[in-house]
Amino acid sequence: LLLNPDALLVKEYAALGQPFVYAVPCTPLKTESRLIQLNDELAKKIGLSSDYLRTNEGISILTGQTPWPDYNSIASVYCGHQFGVFVPQLGDGRAIIISEIRKGADYKQLQLKGAGPTPFSRRADGRAVLRSSIREYVASEALHALGIPTTRALSLTSTPDPVFRETTEMAAVVCRVSETFLRFGHVEYFSHTNHHQELLELLGWHIERHHSDLYSDNFEENPVPTLLDWFKWLSQATAKLMAQWQSVGFCHGVMNTDNMSLMGLTIDYGPYGFLDKFDIDHICNHSDTNRRYSYRNQPRIGHWNLYALASALMPLVQSERESLQLILDEFPQQFQTEHNALFALKMGLDLSRPEENKTEFIEYTLQMLHENKLDMTRFFRSLSALDSTNLAAIHAPSGDDTQSNWINEQFGLWQKSSTFPWSLGDESQVESARTWLKKWSAVADQETTGEKLNQINPIGIARNHLLQEAIAACEKGDDQPLNRLMRAVSQPYTEHSDLGDLYQAAPDWAEHLEISCSS
């Protein structure tokens, strides 16, 4: 009933047993659950019957009320560096894997977040509140739709059961889906507790399953080459992930090593945020007073986290300290290359130009966005209104007139864009816009079209104030605003005519929204 005929329940991770995974039952909530979101597309993709999941029995499984038939749910132990400080034991404190499904080569784990305490809950309640569960559900699907690697969300259920945070809130459970929930912190745990044999076993299992191209049959006798190749892969994947986050203004908020995926996925959505007005120093978590996880710092922290992972790997690759160092040293350049490539596409730059030339223009643009406090999403989206044909003519030696006519014409086109980000009443803004256009004309690609730009610059973003409105409505039982937001973010490049209000810049009140870690 649950699974489509082409999908199988498997126990590949569960079979590892202790000390990797511990059998933990979910703790049912007291009140009947309400299914708020079900991801039909994802259900189908992994081989689940969404018709069944909508029935009372299905909902009961998605909240942890009823165990998955023939599967003993599990939780795992890890540790990590939180805000730079080593914490020797963490773990799945409120996340329980309820099944593993294999459909051909596609392998997925299903995990309930908020389904009760585990041996790793550290005196916390094992629950999640509706507010943070909505935020996780929306962002997972938003990033996925933006083409950014992430864990995904299958369902969101809630009950009126009280959960005590700064105030009393409603309980909720998100069922999330991923090929793995392993984190840097898992490696750190087995390394720092001196369980090196176990660490090797876990990594062998992981690499064989997810990187069969890197795995070799003599891994047990000679694991070092495979481990180095794998670390290199992960370092590159993390560099790319950081560039992708930066390109859409996504701030994770809590980039502790226990929130960094071994598959280079975005994982553990807490006090994240998408930039509204471009602010390079933006932090989305108000308890991050040192700005450790600011927008600007994310790539640097990704690199720092890889250092923590590398030192955890040291006992396994002892003689190869230098090789690890070389891989780490490549990270900044890899990040820069990915970052430039993405921003060059976002602005329709001529890709054949020298790298320094692109870097310079991208940095200038970001600085300009910061100084003018422009809405990031709307700025990039509005570029599709510009016309890059005839660029050659304006650089002809004929003089300033042609150029200033071109700028006037482009400015006219730009103003017509529904996402025009500049304030026309502000002379210095108009001047900045004209200067930007002039510089853009020197580096833009004549082949760029508005249509192409609209496929890389999203319009439907999970802005904080929209989440806030969706949460407030959901808490009163009205799912309409959440449904609309989901429609906007799951097709982020399509401008839906009836969702115009969701594409506006954030209202002033949103600037003061504070998102806390407690969730």
**Catalytic machinery residues:** 258
Nearer to ligand AMP, 94 or 144 (CB): 94
In whole angstroms, the minimum distance from the beta carbon of 314 to ligand AMP comes to: 24
Strand, helix or coil at 90? strand
Nearer to Mg ion, 92 or 320 (CB): 92
Interaction between residue 270 and ligand AMP (CB under 6 A) = yes
Q: Shortest approach of Mg ion to residue 295 CB, angstroms?
A: 20
Is the Cβ–Cβ distance between 106 and 126 less than 8 Å? no
Pair 134, 153: CB distance under 8 Å: no
Q: Report the SS3 class of residue 239.
A: helix
CA distances to 68, 79, 429, 431, 449 from 408, in Å: 64, 58, 15, 12, 19
> Does 302 engage in binding with ligand AMP (CB under 6 A)?
no
At 353, give phi and psi (nearest 5°).
-70, 155
Task: Confirm or reject binding of residue 57 to ligand AMP (CB under 6 A).
Answer: no
Tell me the number of residues near Mg ion by CB under 5 A: 2
Q: Does 268 bind ligand AMP (CB under 6 A)?
A: yes
Candidates 3-11, 125-133, 381-389, 409-417: pick the segment binding ligand AMP (CB under 6 A).
Answer: 125-133
- Would you call 161 exposed, middle or buried from its count of C-beta atoms within 10 A (0-12, 13-18, 19+)? middle
126 binds, among ligand AMP, Mg ion, none (CB under 5 to 8 A by kind): ligand AMP
- What's the one-letter identity of residue 374? L
Q: Minimum distance from CB of 93 to ligand AMP (Å)?
A: 2
Q: Are 169 and 163 in contact (CB under 8 A)?
A: yes
Regarding 151 and contact with Mg ion (CB under 5 A), the answer is: no
**Least distance from C-beta 475 to ligand AMP, angstroms?**
18
Query: Omega into 19 within 30° of 0, i.e. cis?
Result: yes
- Candidate list 34, 127, 144, 277; residue touching ligand AMP; CB under 6 A: 127
**3-class DSSP state for residue 198?**
helix
Does position 254 interact with ligand AMP (CB under 6 A)? The reply is: yes
User: Using an 8 Å Cβ cutoff, are 137 and 37 in contact?
Assistant: yes
Site string for ligand AMP, 67-106 (x = CB under 6 A): -----------------------xxxxx------------
378 binds, options ligand AMP, Mg ion, none, Cβ within 5 to 8 A by partner type: none
> CB neighbours of 171 closer than 8 A, spacing ≥ 6?
29, 114, 127, 128, 129, 130, 158, 159, 160, 161, 162, 163
Nearer to ligand AMP (CB atom), residue 91 or residue 299: 91
Residue 381 is a binding residue for ligand AMP (CB under 6 A): no
User: Does 288 help bind ligand AMP (rule: CB under 6 A)?
Assistant: no
Would you say 110 or 347 has its CB closer to Mg ion? 110
Task: Please state, in angstroms and as integers, the Cα–Cα distance from residue 10 to each residue in 51, 111, 176, 419, following that order.
Answer: 22, 14, 17, 48
Pick out residues in 221-280 that bind Mg ion (CB under 5 A). Answer: 259, 268
CB-count burial class (<10 Å; 0-12, 13-18, 19+) for 515? buried
259 interacts with ligand AMP by CB under 6 A: yes
DSSP states of 290-301 as a string? T-TT-TTTHHHH
State the residues that interact with Mg ion by CB under 5 A.
259, 268
Query: Applying CB under 6 A, which residues contact ligand AMP?
Result: 90-94, 121, 124-127, 254, 256, 259, 268, 270
